[in-house]
Amino acid sequence: MVEVTVTPRCSLADRPVRVRVRGLSPRQAVTLRAWLTDEQGEEFQARAFFRANQMGEVDPGCDPALGGSYSGVWPMGLFCSLQPNTLFRRLVKRDVAGSPFLVHLEVFDGIHLASQPRARPLAACRAERWYVGRGVQRLPVKEGRVRGALFLPA
C-alpha cells in the first residue's frame, strides 16, 4: 500500500517539513504533486518526477527530482515551487492569523505532465502551513502615513 506523509503535518510556513513516500516498487517512476487553493479561489501547484529507491521509497530531501517544477535534491522544492494556474497571479496570504494554507500532496504512478492528472493518485495527504503561531497577537499600526501590523508573541 502506497503512503505519502508530511512531518509535521501542521507547521509554520517558514519551517521545513519532511515529505516521504513509502510502499512503491523498487525503481518505480512517480510524480509528486503539491497544490493549494488561495483565498481568492486560485489554484497553485508544483510537481516533481522521482524514481523510487531500492526500498520503494521517495524522500525529496535525499532523492533528486528528475524534472518537473524543479530538479535536484531540494527538501522543500514542492512547497517553494508552487505556481499559479492563471498567469500574473501571486501566492499571497491575506488572513495570516485566521487560517492556514492547506497544501495537498499527491503521488501518481509514472510521469504526469498535465496540470490536472487524469489518473487517480496512489496516495494523498494534506499539510497545514500557518503564518502566525498560537497565541500571537496582531495589532494594527496606524501612525501618520505609516500603516502596518505589529505581531506580539504569546
Q: What is the pLDDT of residue 97?
A: 85
The predicted-structure confidence for 27-69, as pLDDT tens digits, reads as follows 999 999 999 999 999 999 999 999 999 999 999 999 999 999 9
The predicted-structure confidence for 90-112, as pLDDT tens digits, reads as follows 999 988 888 999 999 999 999 99
Model confidence, pTM: 0.89
Instruction: Answer yes or no: is pLDDT of 115 > 90.
Output: no
Domain boundaries defined on the chain:
3-152
Q: Are strands 18-22 and 43-51 parallel, antiparallel or unpaired?
A: unpaired
Instruction: Answer yes or no: is pLDDT of 116 > 80.
Output: no
Q: What is the pLDDT of residue 126?
A: 98
* Percent of the chain predicted with pLDDT > 90: 86
Please name which of 29, 26, 28 lies closest in space to residue 54, comparing C-alpha atoms.
26
Q: What is the Cα gyration radius of the chain? A: 18
Query: Residue 67 corresponds to which cell in the numbers above?
Result: 524534472
Q: Is 3-152 in CATH node 2.60.120.200?
A: no
CA torsion sign, 140 to 141 to 147 to 148? Answer: negative
Strands (E), the chain: 3-7, 10-12, 18-22, 29-37, 43-51, 83-84, 101-109, 123-130, 137-143, 146-152
* Mean pLDDT value across the chain: 95
d(CA 69, CA 137): 36
Instruction: Answer yes or no: is pLDDT of 141 > 90.
Output: yes
User: Across residues 10-23, what is the average pLDDT?
Assistant: 97
